[in-house]
């Protein structure tokens, strides 16, 4: 049986990709940010997951504004990134697992989560930066992947509550796969940021911390936050935090916090790291 062994959250911003590509991890600006990932990398090295579900939003590389699915997932054996104009290098291809993906898609759709399935999918910084943060020091990607894209760009958007429900269905989907497999789920994006308009540069540390606490201990509160509530506090792009709720829904109601870290600012954002495991077995 496949099993979700833990959940991680992380920022996905392109500046992190460039900092890694340029080996700036120990620069004063970056040092504390990257230090926040050491316990996560250690845990991953110990538990050795077989597959990572990366919950991210595409920012215009694979889905442009003319065609934007609310929830889409990769059903391929390989995924590649491509130049987005930020200077992040092209990375070695990421392994997929098409039979696993199709199982997950079928289970989700049977549970009422009407997924868009993609047999071809370019993955952008929302996916590649978290992969590099977790595993860049290794000679090759040690996990297979399932890219799980949530539209957080083109309104109308889905909600924190819906993402939480989808996460619960995702857990059922994964844990009904007959093959033994250790799966980790990574929610990416956030935290507060707004990249345009009068409020560009907005970061709300207090709200970020409140969301991180609620995601761990009181996901129902996060579900009660409307998209307007989130965008008023966290900025228009701060809405990316709803993707963390897919990760949270895929874990048990109570979770163990193995690691928690927050740092602001990184580029224009507050950046949060959580490492959670199921506490009800």
- If DSSP codes are grouped into helix, strand and coil, which group holds residue 270? strand
Name the minimum Å distance from CB 129 to ligand DHB.
9
User: Which residues are bridge partners to 275 per DSSP?
Assistant: 8, 259
User: Of 178 and 197, which CB lies nearer to ligand DHB in the complex structure?
Assistant: 197
208 binds ligand DHB (CB under 6 A): no
User: For this structure, is 103 an active site residue?
Assistant: no
- Tell me which of 2, 8, 13, 163 binds ligand DHB, using CB under 6 A: 13
- The torsion region of residue 39 among left (phi > 0), alpha (psi -120 to 50) and beta comes to alpha
In whole angstroms, the minimum distance from the beta carbon of 195 to ligand DHB comes to 6
Handedness of CA 255, 273, 51, 116 (dihedral sign): positive
Question: How many residues belong to the site for ligand DHB (CB under 6 A)?
Answer: 11
Catalytic residue among 59, 103, 125, 261: 125
CB of 223 to ligand DHB, least distance (A): 22
147 near ligand DHB (CB under 6 A): no
Cβ distance to ligand DHB smaller for residue 167 or 189: 189
Tell me how far, at minimum, the Cβ of 148 lies from ligand DHB, in Å.
16
Nearer to ligand DHB, 2 or 15 (CB): 15
Q: Which of 74, 96, 237, 248 forms a contact with ligand DHB (CB under 6 A)? A: 237
C-beta of 236: minimal distance to ligand DHB in Å? 10
Distance CA 141, CA 131 (A): 8
Q: Determine contact, residues 99/2, Cβ cutoff 8 Å.
A: no
- What string marks each residue from 102 to 141 as x (binds ligand DHB by CB under 6 A) or -? ----------------------------------------
Active site residue 263: no
How many other C-beta atoms lie within 10 A of the C-beta of residue 69? 17
Contact 247, 167 (CB under 8 A): yes
Give every CB contact of residue 82 below 8 A, 6+ residues apart in sequence. 61, 90, 122, 124
Assess 50 for contact with ligand DHB (CB under 6 A): no
The alpha carbons of the chain give a radius of gyration, in whole angstroms, of: 17
Residues 6+ apart with CB under 8 A from 119: 75, 76, 98
- Determine, following the binding rule CB under 6 A, whether residue 18 of this chain makes contact with ligand DHB: no
240 to 259, contacts with ligand DHB by CB under 6 A? Answer: 240
Helix orientation angle between 160-175 and 98-110, rounded to the nearest 10 degrees: 120
Pairing mode of beta strands 255-266, 51-56: unpaired
Query: What is the binding site for ligand DHB (CB under 6 A)?
Result: 13-15, 59, 189, 193, 237, 240, 267-269
Active site residues: 125, 193
């Amino acid at each position: 049986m496949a099993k979700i062994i833990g959940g991680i959250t992380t920022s996905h911003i392109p500046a992190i990709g460039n900092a890694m590509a340029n080996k700036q991890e120990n620069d004063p600006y970056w040092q504390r940010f990257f230090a926040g990932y050491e316990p996560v990398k250690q845990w991953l090295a110990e538990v050795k997951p077989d597959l990572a579900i990366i919950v991210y939003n595409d920012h215009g590389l694979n889905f442009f504004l003319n065609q934007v699915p609310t929830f889409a997932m990769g059903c391929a054996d390989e995924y590649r990134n491509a130049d987005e104009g930020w200077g992040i290098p092209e990375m070695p291809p990421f392994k997929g697992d098409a039979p696993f993906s199709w199982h997950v898609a079928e289970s989700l759709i049977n549970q009422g989560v009407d997924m868009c399935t993609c047999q071809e999918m370019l993955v952008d910084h929302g996916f590649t930066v978290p992969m590099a943060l977790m595993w860049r020091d290794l000679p090759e990607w040690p996990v297979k992947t399932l890219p799980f894209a949530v539209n957080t760009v083109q309104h109308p958007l889905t909600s924190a509550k819906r993402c939480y429900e989808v996460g619960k269905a995702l857990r059922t989907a994964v844990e009904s796969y007959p093959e033994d497999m250790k799966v980790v789920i990574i929610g990416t994006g956030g935290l507060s940021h707004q990249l345009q308009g009068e409020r560009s540069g907005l970061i709300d540390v207090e709200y970020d911390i409140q969301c991180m606490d609620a995601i761990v201990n009181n996901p129902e509160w996060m579900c009660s936050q409307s998209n307007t509530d989130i965008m008023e506090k966290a900025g228009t792009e701060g809405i990316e935090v709803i993707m963390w709720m897919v990760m949270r829904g895929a874990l048990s109601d109570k979770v163990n916090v193995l690691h928690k870290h927050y740092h602001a600012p990184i580029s224009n954002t507050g950046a949060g790291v959580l490492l959670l495991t199921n506490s009800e077995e």
